[in-house]
Chain A
Amino acid sequence: MTSFLSRRAALIGSLSGAGLLLSGCDRLTQSQNVQRIFRSVEDWTRMNQRLLLAGNRMAREFKPSDISKEFKANGTLNPGGDDYMRHVDEGFVNWRLKIDGMVANPMALSLAEIRKLPSRTQITRHDCVEGWSAIGQWTGVPLGLVLKAAGVAAGAKYVVFYCADNLEGEPAKGGEQSPGQYYESIALVDAFHPQTLIAYAMNGQTLPVAHGAPLRIRIERQLGYKSAKYVQRIHITDRLSGIAGGRGGYWEDRGYEWYAGI
């Protein structure tokens, strides 16, 4: 019986060499141990990137002539729903950005209040995890200024962005995808980076719905999915477990890297 099995295995092996190797790769991919190795590699990669990016190194800023003629909008293109559509009709005058969690002064800012804060305009390259890039100009208030005003409590570690859109996934990415409320999170050190913005304008115009109106995050040294759109609440916390899938973001909960610097 054993010899029959092994002979059969040898036969199948020799017949479908590479095919078997690849289906073996599929089984490896799904193994818990291999997934644990992936997480260790992700941690190691993040530690190296932290080391290289110490001291607030800036992302490249481009010239106005470099701006993409059309900037691909990805993920949710319109969150829809009665609430959001009412805000669109009202020109977002009743939209409030809540800042809460581990802060001394929780806030709820209107767009008018946010526009009065000191602003920064930058032309940067948006790098999607799928492989494409687009260059756009963004205007907004540096997140660090808002966090300073809110007064981040000692022991806080993460800034979580809660968004108004429910994403059903992205066909191009494949893999496991399920619908869910979009959210993202970044480390405090990245939140205080001078190029990290709460943006309300793109290419000199009010931020369009497809690109996250009325407010989106710009985080320029990390992949596009970190730059959450339709942001309605910024939550400061010391842990990511307990939020949705617990890995710190919509795509992170579906297997993608949390730091996403490469």
Chain B
Amino acid sequence: MSVDVETANTDVPTRPEVFYRHRLVVRLTHWLNVLALFFLLGSGLNIFNAHPQLYWGDKGDEYDSPVLAIRAIDTETGPKGLIAIGSWHINTTGVLGWSKVDGVDTARAWPSWITIPSFQDLADARHWHFLFAWILALNSATYLAWGLWKRHLQTDIWPTRSDLKTFGQSVVDHLRLKHPTGEAAKRYNILQRLAYLGVLTLIALMIVTGLTMSPGFDAFAPWLPDLLGGRQSARTIHFIAAWLIVLFVFVHLVEVILAGPINEVRSMLTGYFSVPKDHK
């Protein structure tokens, strides 16, 4: 029996309604994804450092003009680091292109505090990357299969027509940091649904673009590099999608903090979420 909030004496604090929000498979796949994305980002940036330039098309080496490059250059006042996107560039000395490794100034694209391993090591970075790429792929496949079977994706994630109608209001509510309460807090709002759909799409895109960089997989599926604009385009999309996932994680964490970090983190650990009461 749940406590009837409406008729309870308002002078006596009522126990908040606790509701089972996240099922076991959701919780397990969520935390496994956290681990996988952490290792994939760190090792991916180490791999990027072996050739810190991105191109569009099938080919691209240092004789071709990159769409993005992180490099160290010599200047009159000493070496500097920079990031260049097309003809635009910005000084990033100390972080990108030129940074300290164990206190020693070093030319490296991404700094040692963000890469796995911290030192430049393409071989081990690739081993980490493929280990967690498999984990991410199998974990995502498990989530998708379970989600379709249990209709979690259809009911909890996929936006309904009436969800879409609340889009404008939901944007306003989010900007005013107003979070849903009562019954409304028990289901994902439209921005949550779109964000989760978006990150699922990004993860799928990461796996597809990652496979497109494989000469073996391209022999199996030659239409794949064609679809994505070539192997180097796939590498560029892989890089952009990775940072869009980082952006998602950042917004996700901000929302967790704003919505009540203890309740939110507890619900992802135990499954139980304490429903914020209506202010009536």
Interface of A toward B, CB cutoff 8 Å? 18-19, 22-23, 25-26, 29, 35, 37-38, 41-42, 44-45, 49, 52-53, 57-60, 62, 66, 68-72, 125, 127-135, 172-176, 220-223, 251, 254-257, 261-262
Contacts and interface: CB of A to CB of B under 8 A. Distances in A.
Nearest to A39: B127
Listed residue (A18, A69, A134) with the most chain B CB atoms within 10 angstroms of its CB: A134
Contacts of A66: 58-59
Contact of A127 (B39, B134, B215): B215
Given A26-B119, A130-B50, A175-B120, A125 B58 contact: yes
Nearest to B114: A22
Contacts of A262: 130, 211, 213-217
A145 to B, nearest CB: 21
Given A66-B59, A262-B214, A173 B50 contact: yes
B213 A68 contact: no
A132 B218 contact: no
B213 to A, nearest CB: 7
Smallest CB-CB A-B distances: 4 pairs:
A174-B120, A261-B216, A255-B123, A175-B121
A41 B126 CA distance: 11
B25 to A, nearest CB: 23
B59 A131 contact: no
Nearest to A125: B58
Contacts of A130: 50-51, 122
Contact of B215 (A25, A131, A220): A220
Contacts of B59: 66, 68, 125, 133-135
26 contacts: A19-B113, A22-B114, A25-B39, A26-B118, A42-B127, A49-B216, A49-B217, A52-B216, A57-B219, A59-B219, A68-B61, A69-B63, A125-B215, A129-B122, A131-B213, A132-B53, A132-B61, A172-B50, A173-B123, A174-B120, A221-B219, A222-B216, A251-B123, A255-B123, A256-B126, A261-B214
B49 to A, nearest CB: 8
B67 to A, nearest CB: 13
Given A42-B127, A60-B218, A256-B123, A131 B48 contact: yes
B149 interface: no
B220 A53 contact: yes
Nearest to B62: A72
Interface string B54-83: 000011111110000000000000000000
